[in-house]
Amino acid sequence: MSDVYERLARHLDNLPAGFPATDTGVELRILKRLFTPQEAEVALGLTMMLESLPAIAERINMDEATLAPLLESMSKKGLIIKSSKAGEDNYMAAQFVVGIWEYQVNDLNKELIKDFNEYVPYLMKDLIKLKTQQLRVIPVSQSVSAEMQVMAYEEGEKIIKSQSKIVVAPCICRKEHKMVGEGCDKPMENCLVFAGGAYLYESRGIGRSITQEEALKILNEGFEAGLVLQPGNSQKPLNICLCCGCCCQILKNMKTLDKPARYVNSSYYAVVDAENCTACGVCEERCQMDAVTIDEVAAIDRDRCIGCGLCVPTCEYEAIRLVEKEETEKWVPPQNIVETYINIAQERGKL
């Protein structure tokens, strides 16, 4: 039988978001840093469906008394997902991203970060070109005009106001960059997680529970700092990420493409009114996607503009505005996160 880490890598690669093999074996080094061989065997027995201890014990042929503490410690380490409802615990597999990696935010070390960054290009290579992304881009509310038809699922404030449970967690992308002397000084505590995701984060000791008002304040601080709003890619998102183009592994890798706007799930783009533009350069500084160039006036490369709206309200001369894409080009997110991951699995040929 092949090595348990090779089997676990294949198992994770068969989950919707994937875990592709490399020619260097870095993905196996990462798994060895995170899982003991016994934990790897247990993880191999979990699926994307929540299951009880007896059901898992039977499948992996392990007695319940041995398995119970293992499942408990693995869920605390963020290697699997535990759900507790009405006094009953159930467990399921966690994907590598978004999932196992993000749950390590309080357990990072330089060796793990080094391996992760070596692995990111392999991980992102196919993921960032899928039709359905794990995150989508919505415009900051300050850039939205009365004429625009913005859906409720595209408004950060409305998404927050519909939540009864919100946790804010540290941003792993900025944290891991900072720990190796890179990245930026933009706010660190602003990953907003909702509903079941929020309980999961809280149970792992990642992040703290906040009110809707605090979450709205974080949204506004993100706007001030020039962070792109990226909710989970469904009409009922379980999170909103506030991302910078220098640390966010999605935006950073999207930026390396010639035409990132083709792959980002967004319904807007910005245009410049050349007559009003003074070439002051503020929009160029605000843009996280290098979509703006300044010559005599500002020019926006539509193939790079992801419609985040960060450049719009900070133009003192009202020379830049957000417009809606044609109906056929607009992004309508899947109804819920289950549909999102079914789509991703189909697009990766795993269903």
What is the contact surface with ligand SF4 in residues (CB under 6 A)? 171-174, 191, 241-243, 247-248, 250, 270, 272, 277-283, 286-287, 289, 291-292, 294, 298, 300, 305-311, 315, 317, 319-320
CB of 214 to ligand SF4, least distance (A): 16
Helix (H) or strand (E) holding 232: none
Cα(215)–Cα(156) distance, rounded to whole angstroms? 10
DSSP 8-state code for residue 146? T
> Between residues 32 and 321, which has the closer beta carbon with respect to ligand SF4?
321
CB of 131 to ligand SF4, least distance (A): 20
What would the two tokens of residue 150 be? 């913005």
> Between residues 143 and 235, which has the closer beta carbon with respect to ligand SF4?
143
CB of 267 to ligand SF4, least distance (A): 12
> Between residues 239 and 343, which has the closer beta carbon with respect to ligand SF4?
239
Q: Which of 268, 265, 329 is nearest to 302 (CA)?
A: 268
CB of 322 to ligand SF4, least distance (A): 6
> Between residues 129 and 317, which has the closer beta carbon with respect to ligand SF4?
317
> Between residues 45 and 309, which has the closer beta carbon with respect to ligand SF4?
309
CB of 185 to ligand SF4, least distance (A): 14
Cα(262)–Cα(36) distance, rounded to whole angstroms? 41
Please answer whether residues 75 and 35 qualify as being in contact, where contact means their C-beta atoms are separated by less than 8 angstroms.
Answer: no
CB of 250 to ligand SF4, least distance (A): 6
Residues with Cβ within 8 Å of 86's Cβ and at least 6 positions away in sequence, in order, are none
Report CA dihedral (280, 285, 291, 292) to the nearest 10 degrees. 10
> Between residues 112 and 272, which has the closer beta carbon with respect to ligand SF4?
272
How far is the CA of 289 from the CAs of 179, 220, 236, 238, 285, in angstroms?
A: 24, 20, 26, 25, 10
